[in-house]
Amino acid sequence: MKKLVNLGAVFFTTVTLASTALAADNNMAGMKMDGDAMSAMAPHTSALTDAVVKKVDTSTGMVTLQHGALKNIGMSAMTMAYKAKDASMVKQAKEGEKVKVRVENVDGTLTIVTLMKR
């Protein structure tokens, strides 16, 4: 009997906490936030970094970039070779060209997933 009472109390507490959390979340839906607050909450999934193509190796699918900080992966500005997501990206990259890039860790390999001319 004691176990049943304790189990009931745990269940009631869990339901109460979950309801409170949902209510708090719904109350935030209509709140207006300034740009800084929104950007702090939003994942930086679309941020692009300025870079210059230094070398293109079509045989390996690697592109060497001189780039600014890659904040999404915590990398400071440097020059480094990265695997391109696909062969068409390697073909469009030209040495000396100014580009905007997005590099991500794809299955343990730093990979250029977006490459656009500036």
Of residues 34 and 114, the one with the higher pLDDT is 114
pLDDT of residue 44: 44
Residue-wise pLDDT for 6-27, tens only, equals: 544 544 444 444 444 444 444 4
Average pLDDT over residues 38-66: 81
Whether residue 108 lies inside any domain: the answer is yes
Beta carbons within 8 Å of 15's beta carbon, 6+ residues apart? none
Q: What is the CATH number of the domain that holds 59?
A: 2.40.50.320
Cα distances (angstroms) measured from residue 41 to each of 11, 34, 37:
31, 11, 6
Q: Do 62 and 95 share a domain, yes or no?
A: yes
| Count of domains observed in the chain | 2
Q: Do 18 and 59 share a domain, yes or no?
A: no
Q: Do 22 and 57 share a domain, yes or no?
A: no
pTM of the model: 0.62
What amino acid is encoded at 2 in this protein? K
Alpha-carbon gap, residue 79 to 82, rounded angstroms: 10
pLDDT of residue 46: 67
Q: Do 16 and 58 share a domain, yes or no?
A: no
pLDDT band for position 33 (cuts 50, 70, 90): very low
Residue-wise pLDDT for 57-115, tens only, equals: 999 999 999 999 999 999 999 999 999 999 999 999 999 999 999 999 999 999 999 99
Structural domain boundaries enclosing 6: 2-31
Q: Do 106 and 60 share a domain, yes or no?
A: yes
Q: Do 58 and 94 share a domain, yes or no?
A: yes
